[in-house]
Amino acid sequence: MHVIDSHTGGEPTRVILDGGPDLGSGSLVERAQILAAEHQEFCNSILLEPRGHPAMVGALLVNATDPESATGVIYFDADAVLGMCGHGTIGLAVTLAHLGRIDIGTHQIETPAGKIEVQLLDANTVEVTNIESRRVREAVSVEVSGLGTITGDVAYGGNWFFIVDPSPIPVLPTNLRALTDATIAIREATIKQGIGGEEGQPIDHVVFQGSSTNADVHSRNFVLCPDNSYDRSPCGTASSARLACLAADGRLLPGDIIIQESVIGSPYRLSYQPGIKGGIIPTITGQAFVMAECTLIFDECDPYKNGIIL
């Protein structure tokens, strides 16, 4: 299986160029559903140890339905198939440029969440125009064992988020264990208490917003992903959901630019324009770097060829 690894702000993406399962020729939503329902072993084998590592996201290239699209892609982590992935889209664009498949300029990429526009600014810098994002519920309280009452916003940015601002724990690298444990508990509580999207979609990411010591940075975040790892980047879909909340509160105007920092200090440049359905159209700019180009080998005699599952 031929893959290319990159990282976006420290968050890894593994682009699968060939060797993936046959998902048919339906819509990307249908193909993503098939991947989730029938090919968990495939996802595990690529992302779990010893071949993968925590926080890695897979990007399976598939045929696009629109001939104007550079490619179709289905993102997944070790726990779930994702509707959209911001850092993965930045990494994918840089990977496609590395392969000579796209050049400087604007390109369309298809995801299960919708068609995404990317602008390759240089070999490493990508501007992503995400799908329309929105805040669904404001100031929702959830009772969390060990934490008490936690209040946050439910928002959609390509995935489903519960955003807590301000964070009950300082958003610092020294607090990673406490931040992870708290956000896992909050996600479990939202699911148990039925807090989620308009049609009952469960929360899959939890975001803690904190302050930064850098005067040029608007805020710093900690983002819990579905596989219980934290996002090393500021998370593109989380940033989109966050922009939707700022816009709904009147705390950020269309076209205004802010810098969102991750828990490890990597930045995204963010802005938005009004959407046509009452939400906002986010723009996320970040950098990715190709780290490796290799062939994954699946030896039938290897007891861990499908990953270490504990």
**Domain ranges in the chain?**
2-131+290-295, 134-274
CA–CA separation, 294 and 300 (whole Å):
19
Q: What is the pLDDT of residue 78?
A: 85
CB within 8 Å of 285: residues ≥ 6 apart: 121, 125, 126, 127, 128, 268, 269, 270
Q: What is the pLDDT of residue 49?
A: 95
Q: What is the pLDDT of residue 79?
A: 84
Q: What is the pLDDT of residue 180?
A: 98
Q: What is the pLDDT of residue 90?
A: 98
Q: Which residues are catalytic?
A: 85, 235
Encoded amino acid at 210, one letter: G
3-class DSSP string for 221-284: EEEECCCCCECCCCCHHHHHHHHHHHHHCCCCCCCCCEEEECCCCCEEEEEEEECCCCCEEEEE
Is the Cβ–Cβ distance between 161 and 251 less than 8 Å? no
Give the pTM. Answer: 0.95
89-132, pLDDT tens digit by residue? 999 999 999 999 999 999 999 999 999 999 999 999 999 999 99
Q: Within the chain, which residues score under 50 in pLDDT?
A: none
Q: What is the pLDDT of residue 268?
A: 98
Q: What is the pLDDT of residue 264?
A: 97
> May I ask the CATH architecture of the domain 134-274?
Roll (3.10)
Residue 17, class by beta-carbon neighbours within 10 Å (0-12 exposed, 13-18 middle, 19+ buried)? Answer: middle
Q: What is the pLDDT of residue 310?
A: 84
Same fold, 2-131+290-295 and 134-274: yes
Encoded amino acid at 152, one letter: G
The CATH code belonging to domain 2-131+290-295 is 3.10.310.10
